Structure formats: structure tokens, C-alpha cells
Structure 1
């Protein structure tokens, strides 16, 4: 099968041919239809992940496809894949045939296409958990979102509106918000502190604008603002529990998520595309 592999930290992946994986207990073999290219893939490739996989390894933490062999799912079943260490502790999804732990596999409804099934989990569950579990969003609260054009930001806005929040397009000291969901971090987070109402909170979801931040501690304390990080690896169970409801919302059109498709051979171009500021949607390798 064709597979992308990383042989050294900080180096781009290489497309290779390797033998197909063989069936084994506790694992599901999936013929890949689509695999997502994500920021976490860039982080792991740099060698900066907490528990990096052994080299060489195959990137990719999300995918969708058709079951080939499994003790849990019938052959031909449409599924999505995320978790179980895919692409972080073991080989991931940028390959034609995925050997996935059973717990990483979920059912994909017929009405959700493969690209969307591959791309939905990270942005949709991040937005859901950030609003519902971390922020404890209440109807009528004023909410701002940084990086609203990105996948997580877009879904966060859609869910917040559906749950009765009052969206503020440009939070400021004169139009503060009760909750800011920050998907970009860096200097954007620093500048946003004065736009939070006293007693409000900030949920930090990402740091694409910068990994370092300098906050005014007196201002943070005076305004009594809570800074709450979202760790989806620790909260993965909450995300997985929400996945069926999120897929229903995507299927009926309540939520929309844009995808940008690349061929299997264009993984390196997809990595460059997601590194560009202002890109919209999620990059997906299409295997058809």
C-alpha cells in the first residue's frame, strides 16, 4: 500500500510503498477514503509532541473509510477514525489501509460524505467541549470568537448561536463579552483581555498566532477573568460522547464545515496550505 512516512524529526514526510497491515485482535482494518491534514500533524512531525511515536511513523490523526476486517464492525461499514494514539503514539491515517484500535473507530452516517467524516471530529468536538464543558455557556451570554474564519472558530460560532448566545463580532472595552473563545493565541490573546467583562472567562483553544503570550497580571486580577485551556486529549471522552449528535447536526445542515481536498500525493502541499494565515476549512487527502 501507499503510505506517507516521517523518518526524522523536522523533516517532511516521504511517500512510500509498504506491505499491507494484517488483521489482529482488538484492531479494525479500514480502507481509507479520506484523511485529514491538521496542525497537530505539523507539531508531531517537528518532534515537539509529549509522547512522539517511534520513527519512522505515518502521520494523520483523523480519517474516514470502509471497514475491511474487524471483530467489532461488519465489513463494508462506513466509519470515522480518531484517537487511540493514531498519528501521535502509533502510525496514523495517511495510508491506503489503516490499522486502527477498535476504540478509535466510530460509525459514519450514510448522509455524511467521507471528507466531512474525516474532518469533523477535531473542530466540532473542540467547539462543543469548549462551550458546553469548559466555559459552561449559558443562553443570553455575550460571546466572541477569535479566528472565526477557521474550522474551530466557525463551528464555535454556529454552536453558540444555536444554543442561544449573543454573538459579538468585534469585542472591545466598550462592547465586552462574557466569554471569549480564542483559537489563535499569541498577541491576539494579550490584546483581548480588556474586551472581557468583569468576571468573564477566556477559553484558549489554539495558538496559531503564537505560542508565547505576555499578560498584564494586574489587569487579569482586576477584571477577575478566568483563563481556561482546552485540552482535548484529556477531554476526549466528552468529545466522543458528543460525536453522534454533531454528525446529526452536520447531516441536517444545522452545522456546516468547509473542506479543501487534496490528492494522496499532495500531502506536503496540504501541510503548506494549513500553515497559511486566513485559510478556510480543513485540509483533507481524498483517496478516490
Structure 2
């Protein structure tokens, strides 16, 4: 089978020919139809993540495909894959035939594009958990979303509007109109600039840090404004995210939610890793066989 492998941290990925994995108890073999390229893959690849598979390794924490062999699912079943160490402590999804723990698989509705099935989990569940589990969003509240053109930001805007919130996709739109909730997906200077738009007693959910991971904070000013800074850690919130998956997939299937994807051939993983770093890129990158 063809698989993308990384031989060292920061070294460009290469496409290799590897033996096909064999069926094992407690694991499923899935024919990959699409595999996501995300910022977590870049972090593992850089060596900066808290865990990583033994080198060389196959990256990829998310994918979608059809079951080839499994004790839990019938052959031909459409599934999405995420978690259980895929791409972080063991080989991941950037290969034609994925060897995954049974627990990493979830059912994918018929008719849903496989690229969406691979790409939906991180942005959709992150946005859902940020709004409903952490922020406790209520109808009529005013919400500012930074990075609204990105995958998580776009999904946050859509889900917040669905809840009945008044949503601002740029800080300039909220000028002079304090917001109840800030959902920041980029961090750095953009987070610093957005925080003053939150009304005293409001809250800010911190989702990402692609624009920088440092936040200068005037403590006296911060205390006076009494804004709650609420971090989103989806590893700790995984159960809440998975519980929301069926309703999120239903919304994607019938078009109530939209998520853009950009496809790259499996052999162009390096280009996909670079594309997701470009400012203003829209949607998610996926590798296809």
C-alpha cells in the first residue's frame, strides 16, 4: 500500500510503498477515502507535541473510508476515524489502508461526501463544545468570532447564529457594541485586540493560537473588566464532542452546516502542510488516494 511517512521531526514527508496491515483483534482495517491534514499534524511533525509515534511514522489523526475487516463493523460500512492515538502515539491515517483501534471509528451517514466525513470532527465539535459546553451560549447574546473564515471560526459563526445569537465576524463590526462572548480561534495580537470588545462580566473562549501563543495582559485592566478567560481543551472534552457528532453530521448531510475542503493527492502531503499555514486559507485540507 502507499503511505506517507515522516522519518524525522521537521523533515519533509515522503510517499512510500509499505506492506498492507493484517487484521488483528480489537482493531479495524479501513480503506481510506480522505484523510485530514490539520495543525495538530504539523505540531506532531515538528516534535513539539507532548506525544508522538516512534519514528518513522505515518501521520494523520482524522480520516474517512470504508471498513475492510473489523470485529465491530461490517465490511463496506462507511466510517470516520479520530482519536485512540491515531497519528499521535501510533501510525495514523495518511495511507491507503488504515489500521485503527475499533474505538477510533464512528458511523458516517450515507450520501455524505467522504472529504467532509474526514474533515468535520475537529472544527465542528470544537465549535459546538466552545459555544455550548464551555460558554453556555444563550439566544440573543452578542458573539464576536475571530478567524471566522477558518474552519473552526466558520463553524462557530454558523452554530452561534443557529442558536439565535447576534454574531460579528470581525472586531470592527462590534465597535461600540460590547459583546457577551468572544470565541477566539487564532490567538496572538488578534486576541489582544478583540478582548476589549467583551463587555464587563462577559467571557472569552480561547480555541487556537495560529497567530501566536502569547497574550500580553494588563492585570489591573483585566480585573476591572472581569472577563472570564475559558480555555478549550478538546482532549479533555472529547466525550462531549463525540456526543454531539450525530446531530452535527445530520446538519452537514442536509446542508444546514457548510464546511469547505481542499483536496490534495496523497503524494502532496508536504503541500497540504504548507497550505494550512497560509493566512486567509478557507476550510480544511484533505489527502485523497
TM-score by length of 2: 0.97
SS at match of 1:215: coil
1:20 equivalent in alignment to 2:20? yes
1:201 equivalent in alignment to 2:240? no
User: Structure 2 CA distance, aligned partners of 1:249 and 1:90?
Assistant: 32
SS at match of 2:40: helix
1:267 equivalent in alignment to 2:262? no
Show the 5 A alignment for 1:221-260. Answer: 221-260=223-262
CA positional deviation for 1:168? 2.5
Show the 5 A alignment for 1:1-288. Answer: 1-171=1-171, 172=174, 174-287=176-289
User: Structure 2 CA distance, aligned partners of 1:224 and 1:211?
Assistant: 22
User: Structure 2 CA distance, aligned partners of 1:272 and 1:53?
Assistant: 21
SS at match of 1:207: coil
SS at match of 1:4: strand
* Contact 2:141 2:180 (8 Å CA) reproduced: yes
* Contact 2:146 2:169 (8 Å CA) reproduced: no
CA positional deviation for 1:170? 3.5
CA positional deviation for 1:78? 0.5
**Which runs of 5 or more structure 1 residues have no equivalent in the other structure?**
none
**Which runs of 5 or more structure 2 residues have no equivalent in the other structure?**
none
4+ residue runs over 2 A deviation? 168-173
Q: CA RMSD in A?
A: 0.9
User: Structure 2 CA distance, aligned partners of 1:92 and 1:131?
Assistant: 29
CA positional deviation for 1:213? 1.7
1:50-90 per-residue CA deviation (whole Å, 9 max, x = no partner) reads 12221111110100001000000000000000111111111
1:172-200 per-residue CA deviation (whole Å, 9 max, x = no partner) reads 56111100000000011111121100000
TM-score by length of 1: 0.98
